[in-house]
């Protein structure tokens, strides 16, 4: 079965829109990667300042290949460039997230809605 990776990003108050915009600018970079199955950017709505970046992959090797890919480097270089374009202050340059943690899981059950 597939594997799931969560990149857990701590985002200071007021910086969520910047983070979301940066992810939107990187759209299209991961979709064509071999073994890629799904992406979601999850905005916190209660009790936390942590965004979740959810990706699902065919296997661990596919995820590791993505981490080593030109597209991954390109997306993160663009985010770094965006963060350095303006002064410091959330929403005006600088990092949108202050911390990052990677969680990995193996999918053991997967249920989807009937259509």
Each residue of 24-60: pLDDT tens digit?
887 788 999 999 999 999 999 998 999 999 999 999 9
Q: Which residue has the higher pLDDT, 94 or 25?
A: 25
Average pLDDT, the chain: 86
pLDDT of 77 > 90? The answer is no
- Going through the chain in order, the beta strands assigned E by DSSP cover 3-10, 36-42, 50-57, 99-106
Strand order in the sheet with 36-42: 36-42, 50-57, 3-10, 99-106
For helices 70-83 and 60-67, give the axis angle rounded to 10 degrees. 50
Average pLDDT over residues 71-92: 59
**pLDDT score recorded for residue 93:** 60
User: How much is the pTM?
Assistant: 0.80
Q: Does domain 3-106 bear CATH number 3.30.70.100?
A: yes
């Amino acid at each position: 079965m597939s594997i799931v990776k969560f990149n857990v990003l701590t985002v200071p108050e007021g910086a969520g829109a910047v983070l979301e915009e940066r992810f939107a600018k990187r759209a299209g970079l991961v979709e064509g990667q071999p073994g890629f199955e799904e992406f979601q950017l999850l905005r916190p709505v209660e009790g936390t300042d942590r965004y979740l970046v959810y990706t699902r992959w065919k296997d661990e090797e596919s995820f590791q290949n993505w981490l080593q890919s030109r597209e991954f480097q390109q997306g993160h270089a663009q985010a770094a460039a965006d963060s350095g374009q303006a002064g410091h202050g959330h929403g005006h340059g600088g990092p949108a997230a202050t911390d990052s943690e990677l969680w990995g899981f193996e999918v053991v059950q997967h249920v989807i809605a009937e259509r």
